[in-house]
Amino acid sequence: MRFGRGVGLAVLIMLSSGCSEDKGDKTPLAPPENMVLIAASEALIGSNEVDSEGKQEAFGFREPLYLDEHPQHRRFVEAFWIDKYEVTNARYKQFVRETGVKEPSPWVQNGYNVQPEKLEAFDLETLRWAAANHFRLDRDTRQMGRAEILAELANIQAQRDLLPVTGVNWYDAASFCRWYGRRLPTEAEWEKAARGRDGLLYPWGDEWDAGKANTGALGEDEIVVAVGSYRQDRSVYGVFDMGGNVSEWVADWYEPYEGADYDSPFYGGVHKVIKGGGAGVGHYALSYFFRLPRRGQADPSAVSSDVGFRCAMSAAG
């Protein structure tokens, strides 16, 4: 069945409007078992690695590799709790509905922001258009009835519930954690939770293995996958997806470590630190981007399709 431009425009208006109108009752906070307690101790932070293979020049990176990780050092980290998994779309959607904060742009683009009651109110022709053109349902919707389409779309939304939220800037990530009674982890906390006390290069050890995390190396259809899908992407403390899936905002401004001899133009309260690898494509699939000491960084107002976050809490009373 073909749809005219008038129908398409009307549907897009209906889909994008009223996304936060269903306030509902706030559900209970996640139980404690959704966080992992990291005991107080020293942790190995940073690295002393150097770009001996000339990767910066070969791949055209704007800054030298590794130098902002120098010098490797031990730092005492107080006890804290950290989310076992990255914050999901479902958890962030609750925040959007409760506060009215703007939803991430990917939700508008793929229909995740649409409430079930809006879909149920569509006539069959409009519903078929929405399923094919907005939700990208990979079926011939002309042969599908209302109940079948609604069931398919509900399944799509349920799968998206489990994905890590992306397209969120640092400010909104920090606001979510505060609203949830938590905060963003510090860079040192994140790195300790990922590397353990002894400073592993990857959650599973010091040897690179692209198949142990969502690195994009296996050709997944989706850039990100449900949190916890890669069981080997698990730190010694039991924290998942710190090697791959999405990179994560942390609390700190991007600044040099004490004793560093490299001066980045992005130091000085300009950028926030981003830790962990995403599902890389092209040269972003290099093992360099999945090393746990790597220090990504970006303007705190920036958003990305492969940057999310998790929350933390201090363990002290």
**Domains delineated in the chain:** 9-27+100-161 (no CATH), 39-90+165-314 (3.90.1580.10)
Q: Residues in the chain with pLDDT < 50?
A: 1-31, 220
pLDDT (0 to 100) of residue 316: 77
- Token pair for residue 200? 């592993």
The C-alpha angle with vertex 193 and arms to 312 and 304, in degrees rounded to 5, equals 65
User: What distance in Å separates the CA atoms of residue 135 and residue 124, rounded to the nearest whole number?
Assistant: 15
Q: The tokens 């001996």 sit on which residue?
A: 52
User: What distance in Å separates the CA atoms of residue 22 and residue 14, rounded to the nearest whole number?
Assistant: 15
Share of the chain above pLDDT 70, in %: 85
pLDDT (tens digit per residue) in 248-303: 999 999 999 999 999 999 999 999 999 999 876 555 668 999 999 999 999 999 99
User: What distance in Å separates the CA atoms of residue 242 and residue 296, rounded to the nearest whole number?
Assistant: 13
Closest CA to 271 of 288, 249, 244, 246: 249
Overall pTM surpassing 0.75 (yes/no): yes
pLDDT (0 to 100) of residue 218: 55
pLDDT (0 to 100) of residue 134: 83
